[in-house]
């Protein structure tokens, strides 16, 4: 409900491998993805250098399902979340720590294969999920025949219920909308400058 301080991470990068999705006893999905960001620079000898940073990210519930459905190795994504370091024990019983980004917002940044009409199914190089599947395998995702590029937001435990299988419940977050008595704001079809 509240928080003291701000703990925010923003990433744009590419998946190092396909998402790993698993389900908890209560039916909630959890997905792990690893995302690479990189920077390059010239060192003091003028040599071009590059360094890749790998980020371990975890997504829950609806976000996990979307990730599992639509992302694959190489996909470019925008992620927003918070840092969390968890403790675990290695085989020797030693305490270890792993820092992860708990994602609460995701945007896919690859242009959709098959977008824009025609262009047809399959993929392979588009980094979108399930490209090899038969065209009829759809439906579960709820994104329709021509699946909309899903852009997902998932606050903290946003889908409400723990203990219930993830379902397409109404999101707790809708845009803060122009109420009748606010000034008009219709920008839908023209650019104001």
Question: Does the footprint of DNA cover residue 192 (CB under 7 A)?
Answer: yes
Residue with tokens 């690859």: 110
Q: Are 130 and 137 in contact (CB under 8 A)?
A: yes
Question: Does the footprint of DNA cover residue 17 (CB under 7 A)?
Answer: yes
Residue 146, both tokens = 């021509």
First vs last C-alpha separation in the chain = 40
| Cα-based angle 47, 53, 59 (whole degrees, multiple of 5) | 160
Residue 138 Cβ vs its own copies, minimum distance, rounded to whole Å:
18
Residue 6 contacts which entry, its own copies, DNA, none (Cβ below 5-8 A, type-dependent): its own copies
Report 146-175 residues binding DNA (CB under 7 A). Answer: 148-149
Residue 77 Cβ vs DNA, minimum distance, rounded to whole Å:
11
Question: Does the footprint of its own copies cover residue 7 (CB under 8 A)?
Answer: yes
Size of the site for its own copies (CB under 8 A): 99
- 98: three-class secondary structure by DSSP: strand
Residue 34 Cβ vs its own copies, minimum distance, rounded to whole Å:
6
Residue 47 contacts which entry, DNA, its own copies, none (Cβ below 5-8 A, type-dependent): none
Report 11-70 residues binding its own copies (CB under 8 A). Answer: 11-14, 16-17, 24-26, 28, 30, 34, 36-44, 49-56, 60
Residue 177, both tokens = 């909308």
Question: Does the footprint of DNA cover residue 28 (CB under 7 A)?
Answer: no
Instruction: Name residues whose C-beta falls within 8 Å of residue 12's C-beta, 6 or more positions apart in sequence.
Output: 37, 76, 77, 78, 79, 109
Q: Please return the burial class of 18, using the count of CB atoms within 10 Å of its CB with bins 0-12, 13-18 and 19+.
A: middle
Q: Which is nearer to its own copies, 51 or 140 (CB)?
A: 51
Alpha helix stretches (DSSP H) within 53-92 = 61-70
Using CB under 7 A, list all residues that contact DNA.
Answer: 4, 13-17, 34, 36, 38, 40, 50, 52, 54, 73-74, 76, 111-112, 115-116, 127, 148-149, 190-193
């Amino acid at each position: 409900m509240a928080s003291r301080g701000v703990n925010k991470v923003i990433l744009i990068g590419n998946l190092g491998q396909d998402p790993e999705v698993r389900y908890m006893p209560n039916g909630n999905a959890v997905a792990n993805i690893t995302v690479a960001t990189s920077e390059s620079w010239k060192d003091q000898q003028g040599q071009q250098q590059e360094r890749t940073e790998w980020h371990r990210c975890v997504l829950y519930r609806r976000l996990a399902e979307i990730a599992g459905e639509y992302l694959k190795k190489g996909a470019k994504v925008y992620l927003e979340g918070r840092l969390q370091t968890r403790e675990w024990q290695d085989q020797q019983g030693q305490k270890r720590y792993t820092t992860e980004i708990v994602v609460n917002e995701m945007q896919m940044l690859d242009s959709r294969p098959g977008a824009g009409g025609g262009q047809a199914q399959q993929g392979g190089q588009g980094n979108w999920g399930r490209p090899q599947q038969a065209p009829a395998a759809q439906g579960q995702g709820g994104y329709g025949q021509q699946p909309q590029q899903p852009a997902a937001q998932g606050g903290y435990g946003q889908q409400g219920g723990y203990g219930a299988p993830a379902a397409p419940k109404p999101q707790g977050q809708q845009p803060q909308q122009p109420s009748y008595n606010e000034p008009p704001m219709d920008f839908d079809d023209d650019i104001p400058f």
